[in-house]
Copies of this chain bind each other. A is one copy, B any other.
Amino acid sequence: MKEAKPSLYTSLSPALLQLYDVSSSIVVIIDVLRATSTIATVLFNGAKNIIPVDSVAECIRIGKQIEGVTAGERDGHVAEGLVHGNSPFEYPGEFISGKTLVLTTTNGTKLLHMALDRGAKGIITGSFVNLSAVCDYLIAANMPVILGCAAWKDRVNIEDTLFAGAVISRIKSHFNINCDSSQMAETMYGDAKKDLYEFMKSKNASHYERLTKYGLEKDIRYCLTTDVANVLCMYEGGKLIKVESYSTSHEKESV
């Protein structure tokens, strides 16, 4: 008998997450520009782990407590009291290897904590830089998936939607997808995939505009590059860690 495929939904904004059954799903936190791109890069470059926190105050407090590297931006500048920003280029291996990063971001962290509060079965982070790791894991896990776009202050954005579409275009045959948002994301990605950067530019994506104003074209190009920091980033026990091997759901069942 054919086994029923698990479901896959796309939540285009944190304000829509409540519509989906988070407690039975793996939630992929997507904040392409730039939180989840930087998270993958930091773990790829050998950081011990990342502690995502809600506020600048919390970031300072925990940073002191564990002697971690504090990072976070507000309105395109390193937030007062923190030492580093959100750019993936701030975290080469020679600097970040073996360290703990305490990171606060506006949208990604909020969504992660929402998924946590709603009892997600698993939480990973995704961006183009670790697309394959995300897809491989979701296929192996064989569980319901919610692709959670962090958006911008709850407003839907193009880049997170495009990443959801990229994931869907790769893994859709393994899932049962009855979700217009997912169809839209995949359609958008189909239009954009030839040149994601040019697509963002041509659509005047609001986040593209915002970051370009801050001189961050290089960051945008990097964040849209497939598999340049291809590690699986999983949230476990209050921290984001790199996971190098995992059992599939079938293996789990047979244990």
Number of interface residues of A (CB under 8 A): 29
Per-residue interface assignment for chain A, residues 209 to 242, with 1 indicating a CB less than 8 Å from any chain B CB and 0 otherwise: 1000000000000000000000000000000000
Task: Assess whether B180 is in contact with A205, with CB atoms less than 8 Å apart.
Answer: yes
Task: Assess whether B16 is in contact with A16, with CB atoms less than 8 Å apart.
Answer: yes
Partner of A15, one of B16, B158, B179, B206: B16
User: Quick check: is A13 within 8 A (CB to CB) of the other chain?
Assistant: yes
Q: CA A206 – CA B19 in complex, angstroms?
A: 15
- Shortest CB-to-CB span from A121 to chain B, Å, is 21
Given contacts A12-B12, A178-B206, A191-B191, contact A19 B153 (CB under 8 A): yes
Q: CA A155 – CA B82 in complex, angstroms?
A: 38
Task: Assess whether B154 is in contact with A180, with CB atoms less than 8 Å apart.
Answer: no
Per-residue interface assignment for chain A, residues 180 to 201, with 1 indicating a CB less than 8 Å from any chain B CB and 0 otherwise: 1101100110010000000000
Task: Assess whether A16 is in contact with B19, with CB atoms less than 8 Å apart.
Answer: no
User: Quick check: is A100 within 8 A (CB to CB) of the other chain?
Assistant: no
- Shortest CB-to-CB span from A242 to chain B, Å, is 31
> Within 8 Å CB of A191, what residues of B?
187, 191
> Within 8 Å CB of A179, what residues of B?
155, 206
Given contacts A16-B15, A191-B191, contact A184 B161 (CB under 8 A): yes
User: Quick check: is A78 within 8 A (CB to CB) of the other chain?
Assistant: no
Given contacts A178-B204, A180-B206, A206-B178, contact A154 B188 (CB under 8 A): no
> Within 8 Å CB of A16, what residues of B?
13, 15-16, 154-156
Task: Assess whether B181 is in contact with A203, with CB atoms less than 8 Å apart.
Answer: no
User: Quick check: is A157 within 8 A (CB to CB) of the other chain?
Assistant: yes
Task: Assess whether B188 is in contact with A203, with CB atoms less than 8 Å apart.
Answer: no
Partner of A184, one of B152, B188, B207: B188
Partner of A187, one of B153, B183, B188: B188
> Within 8 Å CB of A184, what residues of B?
156, 158, 161, 184, 188
- Shortest CB-to-CB span from A191 to chain B, Å, is 6
Per-residue interface assignment for chain A, residues 130 to 167, with 1 indicating a CB less than 8 Å from any chain B CB and 0 otherwise: 00000000000000000000001111111001000000
> Within 8 Å CB of A204, what residues of B?
178, 183
A interface list, Cβ under 8 A from B: 12-13, 15-16, 18-19, 152-158, 161, 178-181, 183-184, 187-188, 191, 203-207, 209
A-B CB contact pairs (8 Å), 5 listed: A12-B156, A16-B155, A155-B179, A180-B205, A187-B203
